[in-house]
Structure 1
Amino acid sequence: MFWLPVDRTLDMPLIRQVYEQIRLRILHGELQAEDRLPATRELASNLGVSRNVIIEAYEQLIAEGYLVGFQGSGTYVAKGAYLKQEDKDEFLSLFEMNQHIENDTGVIDFRSGIPALDMFPRKSWGHIAKQVCIETSQSIFGYDHPEGRTELRLVLAQYLKRTRGVNCHPDQLVITSGATQAFSLIANLLLSSEDEIIIEDPITNEIQTIFSSSGTSLYPIPVDEYGMKTDLLPANKRPKFIFVTPSHQFPLGGTLPIQRRIQLIHFARNTDCYIIEDDYDSEFRYQGTPVSSLQGLDPERVIYVGTFSKILSPGLRLGYLILPPSLAQKCKDLKWFMDLHTPSLEQLTLAHFIDGNYLERHIRKMKKVYQVRRDYIKSCLKQEFSNTVTILGDSTGLHLVAEFEDIVFSEDILSKITEHNVKVYPVESHAIQKGNHTNKIILGYGNLSKEEIKEGIKRLKCALTTS
């Protein structure tokens, strides 16, 4: 009997499920040229679906050339539709992928940078999005400007001035599809092969990859509990830019003091380079008020990158760049070549969300939630590991760093932790100069409940004591 699994719990329509599985079996040679397929009525009965599902799937496959149909004779696999695969393991079926996702549900993942997804303000966001979709002119559904909607850039400039001390005109703002696109735009705007940049060490792998992919050399400057050690800036270098996370260094969590900020700006002025300020989660500061931006000290020298992935949701893919006026137009041109523009409906929804004070209310609410989770993970670490663990970088954001005595997070140790259904992330994997952070791990807590935090730390203790 010819059998195809169908799953009514998936979002994919049944017609598409049947079509996709037959198509892959033909491409992979499991169904060969001139093989006869079951009649539509027979296959529908076997699978427990409507005959129209099978008819439409067959018709689509015939239209694309995978099948041929002969009236009164049946439906057959067409000749020339087999494509030899170098590695069949790469072609997971829809159901294998779904099963893999389901099998991962028992894992407690301390990944950093993920906000509380279950607390996304669906009701207010959905209400605004509906209004935007219904009441806005039809032009919103057409092509838009690469720099982003004027409405969003206006309210965002005002919001950043009020909350972060950012000094900019809306024309200096470019709305991006998340911070990752912003970094890619900077790389295309400023870098070429054989250039050099100065960068914090450690710093997220993603940043390293984006900037080094053009052939650029990375000159690492180590960080301490206050961020980049600016006294180590090299007098003999003329970099294209200096990359820093001054409000909350990733991953170690330091905040760059004013003396180092001034030293950084003096260096940039003397070497005629820019400073890239990544301000990724500074809204959630638990001691005092959020630190003012570096950009506010020298708007002509600092390129400011922000994102709503940590405040609201990474699924929105909304971020922004603030550039000196001399770079703004060229960046807009690059954005047009990259993707024309960031989706307009989401931009307008966000503009109304900010203008209606929904964003600041959400931040105040979530700051309390994250502070409770931060305090709880600290207490769990101290309960399980006592004085053998030191907590770093916990004053801001959605993660902290745990430094352990006499533990090196080698591949074997990390594998052991994974076997206990918990995921942690070594600081060393983000280090450019290796060997200085082997006993530290990053623990993100933003998207974990107190129950998950407690269980995850218990599993971590069990893995480390049995390894």
Structure 2
Amino acid sequence: MTWIPINRDAGIPLFRQIYTEFRNQILKGKLQIGEQLPSTRDLAASLQVSRTVIVEAYEQLLAEGYIEGRHGSGTFVAEGTLMNINKGKHVPQFTPSAASTASREEAVQATHDLIDFRHGIPALDHFPRKQWSELSKRACMEAPNEAFGYGKPEGRLELRTIIAQYLHRTRGVICDPDQLLITTGATQALSLIAKLLLSEISDVILEDPITMEIHNIFSLPDTTIHPVPVDRHGLLTELMPENIKPKFIYVTPSHQFPLGGVLPIQRRVQLIQYAAAHGSYIVEDDYDSEFRYEGPPVSSLQGLNPDRVIYIGTFSKILSPALRMGYIILPRAHIEAARSLKWLTDLHTPALEQLTLARFMEEGYLDRHIKQMRKLYRKRRDFLMHALSQSFGEQVTIIGDSTGLHLVAEFAGITFTPDLLHQLELSGVKVHPVDIHALHKDKHRQQIILGFGNLTENRISEGIRRIFNTLSQI
């Protein structure tokens, strides 16, 4: 029987402790490829925990590709999961430091009842105004005098500490607060990375498709972008070019944008090994993985190799884009340079908002808000999928629906040309083509992104009806 240590007083869910121990044993080779895991019933009895706990841990391992089920035979360690780039080093563990304890669209909307399936917008009417306003008042009244002066570019220690703890607990991120830089949203984090790493002639690898804003931020005069295709599981790591030394590889491994794939462990290992062999960093954009509808959020890539991965997160999708609050976690070699760049950009992110967010997280409001919103978004996602299926039947294929605030609908025999998109908008519905985000064009012209986070069921139903009426006239 495999020995799995658990600590019931650690404050970490038991299923995550079991998942983490299995993951580490697999990555270190202590559990060999093809080796069978204990049955859920036997392991639950051995550890004296509910079988549900073991099932949750196994489902997480299965979702991330560490294990595979064989019908009638059991559960086994999957191929391609052995980490060998650390030359015998342990998979890094969390060791907290002392600090870690402590336009046109507007014109149309004005004259038209436009239903916009824009992606990445949370349910704005569900922002926790009451709790936020109360905490904001307390933060203002109780803040030390120095909080009203010029702050440090890296942000308030209170917020950095609670974010580091939160990310370790929920995403398996390994960092100390001094590695964390508070930013004015994820866009600023990406701009800082560009300034930090692309100061000379550079190569960069991007997923293709990926949000067009990324193209713009990284399209600098001396930078060559190398797009690598994705499939429904994320970046096709075997297609990464071998004849270059990219400064970094930008990926969205927990929920590929826009196609929605979750990068399995085999490709994560290949990606880390490629980065190590080519002297590259990996930029992990974890933009909305809190809202996963099949099991808990997928663990971060950063947790596999903190020295090689730069991790970006934002509160725009969790709470509100209006907060303009995000963060970046850096390998130690780049911390001071990033702080200097942040200071030159805007000195620091507003302190009182940071203090309010820190209290919001520390007092448990963020966890409760995410839990409530996950239920709401799952309901809206299911309603959208049902509406698509009812209207279009087998003509539509839905992909990328396991996580986040959008899904991708692929329509057989329909090409979303600019003329068709214009016809849809004239009918009162705005959709967003996948192809606009692709560097290699014309590969995704039958696919559209449908965001559902900020749309009620009535609006979703009416929007799909308008899409159906327009497409039926083609």
Instruction: Give the structure-2-normalised TM-score.
Output: 0.77
User: Which has the higher mean CA deviation after the structures are superposed, 448-457 or 102-111?
Assistant: 102-111
Distance 2:110 2:380 in 1: 26
Partners in 2 of 1:364 and 1:215 — Cα distance?
A: 44
Tell whether 2:142 aligns with 1:142: no
Matches within 5 A, 1:26-65: none
Report the equivalent of 2:14: none
Give, in angstroms, the shift of residue 374 of structure 1: 0.2
Aligned partner of 1:316: which letter? Answer: L
Q: Does residue 116 of the first structure (1) align with residue 123 of the second (2)?
A: yes
Q: Give the aligned partner of residue 154 of structure 1.
A: 161
1:167 counterpart residue number = 174
Distance between the aligned counterparts of 2:298 and 2:104, measured in 1?
43
**In structure 2, how many angstroms separate the alpha carbons of the residues matched to 1:341 and 1:396?**
32
Give percent identity, aligned residues only: 58
Write out aligned runs for 1:184-333 (5 A).
184-333=191-340
Distance 1:323 1:438, change over 3 A: same
Distance 1:340 1:260, change over 3 A: same
Find the counterpart in structure 2 of residue 379 from structure 1.
Answer: 386
In 2, distance between residues paired with 1:214 and 1:306?
27
Equivalent residue letter for 2:349: T
1:105, CA displacement in angstroms?
6.0
1:420 alignment partner AA: S
Indicate yes or no: 2:449 matched with 1:450.
Answer: no
> Gapped runs of 5+ residues in structure 2?
1-102
Q: Which residue of 1 aligns with 2:424?
A: 417
Q: Distance in 1 between matches of 2:387 and 2:301?
A: 35
Equivalent residue in structure 2 for 1:362, among 350, 366, 369 = 369
* Residue 97 of structure 1: how far off its partner (Å): 10
1:201 partner letter: D
How far did 1:264 drift? 0.2
Deviates more, 1:167-176 or 1:98-107: 98-107
| Residue aligned with 1:210, SS | helix
**2-structure distance, mates of 1:105, 1:337:** 43
Give every structure 1 segment of 4 or more consecutive aligned residues whose post-TM-superposition deviation is greater than 6 Å: 96-99
CA distance in 2, matches of 1:253, 1:100: 31
Cα-to-partner distance string for 1:340-365 (whole Å, 9 max, x where unaligned): 00000110000001111100000000
In structure 2, what is the equivalent of residue 408 of structure 1? 415
| Equivalent position SS for 1:320 | strand
Q: How many Å apart are 1:100 and its aligned residue?
A: 3.7
> 2:210 is matched by which residue type in structure 1?
I
Does the residue aligned with 2:442 lie in a helix, a strand or coil?
Answer: coil
Deviations 1:378-435 (A, max 9, x none): 0000111111000000000000000000011001110100101111000000000112
TM norm structure 1: 0.78
Contact 1:304–1:321 (8 Å) recurs in 2: yes
Residue 402 of structure 1 aligns to a residue whose secondary structure is: strand
Change (3 A) 1:461 1:134: same
Q: Structure 1's 99 and 312: CA in aligned 2 closer, same or farther, altered over 3 A?
A: closer
Alpha-carbon separation, structure 1, partners of 2:134 and 2:191: 33
Q: Name the CA distance, whole Å, in 2 between partners of 1:141 and 1:315.
A: 21
Tell me the distance in 2 between the aligned counterparts of 1:201 and 1:345. Answer: 38
Instruction: Please state if 1:466 is matched with 2:468.
Output: no
Unaligned runs of 5+ in 1: 1-95
Which of 174, 177, 186 is the matching residue for 1:179?
Answer: 186
* Distance in structure 2 (CA, Å) of the matches to 1:194 and 1:235: 18
Distance 2:345 2:339 in 1: 10
Pick the structure with greater CA Rg: 1
Aligned pair count? Answer: 372
Residue deviations 1:27-78 (CA, integer Å, cap 9, x gap): xxxxxxxxxxxxxxxxxxxxxxxxxxxxxxxxxxxxxxxxxxxxxxxxxxxx
Q: Which amino acid aligns with 1:133?
A: C
- In 2, distance between residues paired with 1:391 and 1:98? 27
**Counterpart amino acid of 1:264?**
L
Q: Is the 8 A contact 2:108 2:114 kept in 1?
A: no
**Whole-Å Cα distance in 2 between the matches of residues 210 and 376 of structure 1?**
35
Q: 2:440 aligns with which of 433, 438, 442?
A: 433
What SS is found at the alignment partner of 2:122?
Answer: coil
Deviations 1:86-133 (A, max 9, x none): xxxxxxxxxx99994861561100000000000000011111001011
Q: CA–CA distance in 2 between the matches of 1:466 and 1:345?
A: 54
